[in-house]
Structures are given as C-alpha cells and as structure tokens.
Structure 1
Amino acid sequence: MLSTCITVAGSDCSGGAGIQADLKVFTAHSVYGMSAITAITSQNTIGVNGVHLIPAPFVEKQIDACMLDVKCNVMKTGMLFIPAILKVTLDMIDRYKLKTVVVDPLIATRKGVLLVLPGYLELFIKELIPRATILTPNIAEASILLKHMTQETIEIHHVDDVKTLGAKLIASGCKNIIIRCDGISFDNEFFVCKDSLTPSSWYVYVLCTSEVQLVIPQKWLSTKIAKGTSCALSSAIAANLANEMDVQTAVKRSVAYTQHALEYSFHLGRGANSLEYSSGYGCLPFEEGEFVGYFRNHPHLSQTWNFLFEHHFLQKFKNTTLAIDEFKKYLALKYHMLMNNAQAAGLTAFSSSNIAVIERSANIIQIIKEENVIHLQICKQYGLAPEQFVDRKPAFVNAHSSFINDVGQREGVLGIQVAMLPFSIILQDIFSKMDILDSGAFKPFVLHCKDSVTIEHINGLLRNLESEASTLVPEKIQQLLNILEQSISFEMAAFDITLDNETTIF
C-alpha cells in the first residue's frame, strides 16, 4: 500500500518552500502527499511581500477532508502562524490519533528574530512538543526553546555545545530533535569558524534522542544559498517515517537528501537558488556493517583485493610453499607496520584539540599495543627474538611510515583506520579460516588468528571504522578509496619482500 503523509503549512506561490516544497519531497520519496494550507503568501526567490491567513476553521476543514477519506498516519507541520491554527492542528492530531508528527517549528529566523507571538510559543511548548515525534529547529530556534523551557542559554563554540543543547531539550520533554546549525560553519576540528580567515569545512546537523547524540556533518557549500532547506529536511523525515524507517535512519537519509538538494540547487530567479528536489540523489549514509563491505566490493578494487588475498596469501600458506625463514621476515615487517599505525594515531591525537578524536586515537593505540604483545609472542614461537628486528627498519618500513603519517595528517584517525583495513581483513578472511590440521609449520600463527582476543582486536578496529561511516560525503569516500588502494599496494609489497631471498632485514 502506498505510504501517505499530510503537511499543514503555508503556501509559497513561487514553489520554493512551504506546501509546494513538501509535496515535491513527498513525491521524491514515493509518498502520496496531502496538504492543509494555513496561509497564502506572495513571495519569490527574493523575499516575501504578502501573507493572507486562512481562517482556523477552514484549516480544520481541509485536514478533516483528507483524513476522513485517505488513511494517513504521519503529519508534518510547518508555519502555523497563530494560536488558533495551532489549536486546530492539536485537535486534529488527537482526533485522528496520529502517532507520528514531524514539527518544523518556524518560530524564528536563523538570526534569532521571533516570527510568532509569545502566546503562540507558550502553547507550542506546552502542547505541540509533547505530541511531536521529532522537532527540526535551526540553532536559533533550539536556543529560544531551551530559554523558554529551562531559562538556560548555551553559547555555541564547538559541536559539543550543540549536543549539550539538544540533550537539555530532550531532558525537558522533546522526544527527538535534529538541530540544523544554520548560518554556522565548523572547521575540521568542529569548532565554530569565528572569522573569514578560518577555513569552513562542515555544515552540521545534530540528532539527539533519549539514547544517542549523533553529529551528522555535511560539506560546507559556501556558494550555495537556497530557500526551503528546512522544509526539505522536515518533509523528507516525515516521508521516511511514513515509509516505516526508524527515527535515526530516517534522519540520516533525510540529511543526505537535503544536502544533495542544496548541492545541486540551481538559479532560476534573481535571488536565492531553487533546490533540486528530484529523487535521483547520490550517496546515502552507510548503515551499520556496510562500510567495510563497500570497500571490499568496490569495482575498481575488488580484482586487486581478490588477487592479494587468494593468490599472494591464501595459496602460499595453504600449500605451505612459504619457507619459515621467509615467514619470519613477514612477521618482522608486520611488527614495524603495526608500529607505524600506532605512531600515526599518536601524532593525530597530539595535533588535535577535539577530545573525541584523541579518544579514538588512544583506542587504536591500545588495540595495537595489546595485539603487538601477542604478535611478539608468536615471533618467539618461530625463534625470532625482538632484538633481531625491533631496531632494524628496512627502507620499505620507512616508506610505509611516511605513507601512514601523511594519511594521519590529511585524513586523521579515519584515514589511519582505512589504511589498516587490509591487514585486518587478511587476518579475518584468510588465516582465521585455515584448517589447523593443514597449517603445518604455520600452526602457531593460525591459532593466533583464530584466538578470540585477536578477533576482538580486529572487530574493535572495524567497529571504530563503521561508527564514523555515517558522516561521510562522496568526496571523502573517494579519498579513502585512494588510501585503501595505496595500503593494498604496501601489503603486496610486504609479501613480495618476504618472498625475495635477496632482501635481508635481520
């Protein structure tokens, strides 16, 4: 059955926002859209020059006409303007037992100028917020709501301040809230850019629920100014909820949709751009567990990936054609490559002022430290003492160190995690699947790879990687693909050195 949604909002005769925008978004998401108009506006891409309110009883009549005929469980509200229309909307929510209500507050401009009277705001907070499944305020509206609900104010200097703002609104009675940081750009460390000299990197959305605080950064589009972005986000969320997504998934996909609509906006009139509302939008956020699979199945990398694992490693080990002395070289090289990863994570932590980045770096270092203890134990089982290789770095290791450090400086912790991905997958996909009885002289290493502690270390790295996947924009994914391709090349080089009898590293 086709999903349906009703929007209660004002009309934009130029088609860029309001009811017209909502219906375009619903259609783009394969949702049948209905509407109840609260006001007719005279506006275009330059601005609004007239508003004609629809009497509250007639707004009620519109909603009744839709709801009595077409089954609908989702309502999206936009500008309700006056207490009388707000009261009618509240009555309709209760009369038709609507469980899903998406509220775009539209109570203030991004500069904090109130668009409604105090009586409206009091009714909004007391009656509509408790009925709302999710609110979609801009940062100014969120601050105004918190001030009226708790008498608190929060200055925004870092994205963590936005998270605090959202958490306080949740504690004050909001079920879910996605805050749009309109007019605020963030740098690479997610501090607010205070002046034009600081490069702007991110436009940020922050989702807060009773269970999670999720930062969803999007590429800062300095040259893109368009009307209707709040309508696009809120109506996309309503459509995704109508399509039975959970709140978090609905929000992430709606942010991606809105970003695409803005990035591909176009110039029609003499003022703001018009959003691209069509359904053909690009990269959606990754769901949990999809990120690593995306890399492994990428058309450009899959052939190299399969060759690396199936030929360079699996066949050599399964057929025991790899001599023990050669394998010792491989173990020594892997020790140095692990150290390179740990050092790069440390440098990333040192160069960052973001505590979350420092924490993730520390987590990677701890995982490598624990793994390395086991790695050295394995080396001893093959008669390879640490003093034979710890202080001896071949040229290959120095080249790998430069690569990893460069990745850490350019792409931070996420880049380092991607660079470590081939080694992690080698352990998971190959050695851990070998039959112990057929592993011959490589039995100690195969047992190590099957050990639950080792597997947990690998899974810890992969979980860190997956947790950041939802923040990625297409350009970032391409950069990470390039890093992965280079890392695979180093992995293959390490094995080639292992098989090269002329190369001595002890």
Structure 2
Amino acid sequence: MVQGRVLVIAGSDSSGGAGLEADQKVIAAHSCYAMTATTALTAQNTQGVKGIHVIPTDFVSQQIDACVEDVGVDVVKTGMLASTETIEMVAKTMVKHSIPSLVVDPVMVSTSGATLLPNEAIQHLCKHLLPHTTVLTPNIPEAILILSQNGQEAPEVRSVQDLETVAQRIQALGPKWVLVKGGHRPMKEDLTVAETAEERSIVVDVLVGGHGEVVRVKSPYQASSSTHGTGCSLASAIASNLAKGLDTPTAVRSACRYIEAAIRTAPGLGKGHGPLNHFHSTYTLPFAPGYFIEWLLERPDVRDVWKEFVYHPFVMAMGDGTLPLESFKGYIIQDYLYLIHFSRANALAAYKAQNIEDISRVSCTAYTRYVLDVGQNGDWLGLQMALAPCLLGYGAAAKMLHGHEKTVREGNTYWAWIKNYNEEDYTDAVKLGSALIEKHIQLQSPSRIEELVQIFIHALKMEIGFWEMFPAQQT
C-alpha cells in the first residue's frame, strides 16, 4: 500500500548505488511512491564517476510539472542539482506548486573531498533554496562549505557540541531543520572525535530545529566500504517518512536507523565503495533490525501511554520526595503480591523457551497476573511482551528520575528506590530482556508483530493502573 508520494530531483547513477536509482529503492522500501526529475546522467560505478551529462533546466522543469500536475507530490527530495539555473528553477517551483515539504541533500562535496558544485551555484542554493527547505542534510565538509560561502567561519569539529554549533549556524540561514551527518568524524564514547581507528566507537548525527530543538542520533561506528549512496539514501528515507506523516525528529531518527542497518547488511558488491542493502526490512519488518523496541515506543498508539507511565504523578512524586509514605507502603505490598504472579510467569516462560540460553536470561521484576493469562493462551514471545512494560518501564522511569532536574537526592525517602533501578544488575537485566525480544521479533510476521504490540499496550495500561492505586499527593 502506497503511503506517500515523493518526487526526487537529482542525477542518475548508472551503477544503481546512489542518485535516482538509490532514491527509488529507498522510497519503495518505505512503501511510498517515487517519481523522478533527472538533472544529470552520470556514467559511474563503485570506483568513481566516469562522465556527466547535464540535462537542460527547461526539461527538468517539464519533468517536475508533469509529476506535480498529475500524480501529485507530498515531499520533494533534491540531490545533485548540477547548475545554478536548475537550483533557481527548483526554488521557484516549490512556490509555484505549493509543495509542503522539501528535503535537500546538498551534494556539494564528494567522499574524496572534491567540490561538485561551483561556488556560484552553492551561493544560489543558500540564497534561493534553503528558505524553502524543511530538512537540510549536509555532511561535515558540506556544512563547513555552506558556512564559508555565507561569510561565516565554522568551528573545528572536535566534539558533538561543535557539530551542534555548526548545525545551528546553518539553520539560521533559513531551513526549518538541519541534520549534520557525523560520518566524517567518528567519535569516542565521550562524544569527542576519535584520534585513532581503534577509538572509533560511534557516529553522531545532529538534528537542530528553529525553536532550540537539538536531537542527537547515535549509531555504532561501522568500518565498512559499503557506503556508496549513503547521503542520497538517508535523505530519501527522511523524505519518505515525512510523506507518511511522521514528525521531523521521528522521521530523521527512523531514517538514520534504516541507513545503519542498510550498511550493516550491505551485499558487498563492486570493487570500490559498494552499495547499501536498501531492502533489509521490506515485507517483513516495519523497523530496522535491532530497533524494534525503539520503534515500538515511538508508535503513535504507544508513545502517549508510555509517557503517561514513565512520567506518572506517582513516579514524579517519588522523584521530588513528596509521595505520601502510606502510598509507597501500599505500593510495596502490592509489589510483593505481583512478584508471586511474576515468578509463576517466569516459570511458564522457561517452560515455553526453545533453548537453555533463553531460559537463563529470564529477567525478574514485578508485574500483574495478566501475564499469566497471556502465557497460558499464547506463546513465549507474547509472554515476554506482556512482561516488557514493567521491565523496560521501571528502568526508564528510574533513569528519567536519576537525571531529572527536580529530583531530590538528599533526604529523599525514595532515592534508594531510584538508585536501585539504576544499578548495574537491573540495567543489565533490561539489556538482556531487550536483546531477547529483538532477537525473536525479527522472525515474526507483520500481523503477529501487531498482535504483540497490542499485548504490550494493554499491559502498559495495567501498569499505569498500578501507579493509580495509591494517591501521589496528600489528600
């Protein structure tokens, strides 16, 4: 089922790994409808570009009009625009057709460091196109070039804070959101730039908005040569997510996860920088492998219920120390009763487990008798999903309170509870429980995944009811 219409205005890649060819694969993988307006034909492969034939601007304009006036367009994504004239035409077209969203991959600097657009074209892109841009996706060299063309000196990128500064300065030039891709500067765990290959641990992409929003998307660093078309594919994934109605931060985060998995599962084609695996989740998973729980908690039908649980007044009252002691005592008593049912549920989970590894990793926390009903009538994974709100939720609530500015530590009766759920043994249990779910969820059908999500939502609402058994404030 087509969920959105995306028009790509970009150059081709005869080898299929980047440009329009990659864009169409990405858009199809996101269940959206792809249209193209070709700005240039290229003869290239994984080892380099052999030749470029620029398409006349008038003909590019005709392609755009043909798509907009018939099929319609929800989001425009631009890649290689090739000339100053085409850049100006695209800017005018956005106004002419009232296109609601524009994702711009600036395509100014190649992986080898070569400049792909003349300075005049870069200046025109900044002046005419950025004010219409919903999301701009420069890599670090492109971000620095954009700032220099606008008379600004970019800070040397030595940390994630420097990335944020660069993104904020570019955002002030007109685009609603700027995503500076951090792949050129892999970082250490402390979010400073790695000095050696051994120190490369994570890649941080930074998204900033016009109202002070800053979102960091962290991904494991991958020493892979299969990175051809990464920028094109990321921008098209963002465009597809926007076309499906996702808000910008969610669209960007999901796109980053998609690209991470596409690199990780790349087919290894070509003699140079090979293409990605654009179809790693098609037809089977609505999320990137390893990110089911993140996808689950960001679903519209889960997000608000999850937030209600984690930020429940009972939880917040423990954080600032105002929770009536009688309420906490009542909670602890009920917690004990739930532990009895939980032990039965874990015994049932062990009975239903398929191997000794799964049995040894069953985690322990409090939960309602509902899980026994799920366990008796369903399978092992259904039981794990019924247990998951408590395992994940307690960890999330305690982590939130541990870093919350209003949490009182000195003299707070409940600080020990907060610390307990931040201890290594519990956080390890959360990691192990999450890993088990991530491992088994990849084998499920889309319809079964939806059933499991509904089990999670129902159990999550029961957890909220647990908090609400006792008053959060003195009455």
TM range (shorter): 0.5 to 0.7
Q: Which residue of 2 aligns with 1:385?
A: none
Change (3 A) 1:140 1:39: same
Q: Secondary structure at the match of 2:12?
A: strand
Contact between 1:261 and 1:276, CA under 8 Å: does it hold in 2? yes
Q: Which residue of 2 aligns with 1:404?
A: 423
Contact between 2:408 and 2:415, CA under 8 Å: does it hold in 1? no
Contact between 2:119 and 2:149, CA under 8 Å: does it hold in 1? no
Q: Which residue of 1 aligns with 2:33?
A: 32
CA distance in 1, matches of 2:167, 2:52: 32
Q: Which residue of 2 aligns with 1:51?
A: 52
CA distance in 1, matches of 2:117, 2:223: 30
- Tell whether 2:154 aligns with 1:153: yes
Change (3 A) 1:300 1:73: farther
Instruction: Give CA deviations for 1:255-288 in whole Å, capped at 9, x if unaligned.
Output: 1111111111111221222211113432253424
Change (3 A) 1:256 1:300: farther
Q: Which residue of 1 aligns with 2:254?
A: 253
C-alpha displacement of 1:372: 2.0
Moved more, 213-222 or 270-279: 270-279
Counterpart residue identity of residue 104, structure 1: D
Instruction: Give CA deviations for 1:184-214 in whole Å, capped at 9, x if unaligned.
Output: 111111111012342x221111110023101
Q: Secondary structure at the match of 1:206?
A: strand
C-alpha displacement of 1:224: 4.6
Counterpart residue identity of residue 245, structure 2: E
Instruction: Give CA deviations for 1:221-249 in whole Å, capped at 9, x if unaligned.
Output: 11353201111110011111111211111
- Tell whether 2:372 aligns with 1:371: no
CA distance in 2, matches of 1:3, 1:229: 22
Cα RMSD for the two superposed structures: 4.0
Contact between 1:176 and 1:210, CA under 8 Å: does it hold in 2? yes
CA distance in 2, matches of 1:167, 1:268: 37
Contact between 1:76 and 1:101, CA under 8 Å: does it hold in 2? yes
Q: Which residue of 1 aligns with 2:203?
A: 203
CA distance in 1, matches of 2:404, 2:74: 44
Contact between 2:19 and 2:229, CA under 8 Å: does it hold in 1? yes
Change (3 A) 1:404 1:97: closer
CA distance in 2, matches of 1:84, 1:23: 25
Counterpart residue identity of residue 61, structure 2: E
Runs of 5+ unmatched residues, structure 1:
312-340, 346-356, 377-399, 419-424, 435-448, 454-506
Change (3 A) 1:368 1:269: same
Instruction: Give CA deviations for 1:462-498 in whole Å, capped at 9, x if unaligned.
Output: xxxxxxxxxxxxxxxxxxxxxxxxxxxxxxxxxxxxx
Identity %: 29
Runs of 5+ unmatched residues, structure 2:
311-337, 350-361, 370-394, 435-459
Which of these two proteins has the greater Rg computed from alpha carbons?
1
Change (3 A) 1:310 1:42: closer
Change (3 A) 1:432 1:158: same
Instruction: Give CA deviations for 1:369-423 in whole Å, capped at 9, x if unaligned.
Output: 35327989xxxxxxxxxxxxxxxxxxxxxxx99x936788x99xx98xx9xxxxx
Q: Which residue of 2 aligns with 1:451?
A: 472
Counterpart residue identity of residue 404, structure 1: E
Q: Which residue of 1 aligns with 2:448?
A: none
TM-score scaled by length of structure 2 = 0.66
C-alpha displacement of 1:34: 0.6
Contact between 1:136 and 1:180, CA under 8 Å: does it hold in 2? yes
Q: Which residue of 2 aligns with 1:499?
A: none
C-alpha displacement of 1:156: 1.0
Moved more, 211-220 or 366-375: 366-375
Change (3 A) 1:112 1:144: farther
Q: Which residue of 2 aligns with 1:490?
A: none
Q: Which residue of 1 aligns with 2:186?
A: 185
Change (3 A) 1:73 1:432: closer
Change (3 A) 1:309 1:247: closer
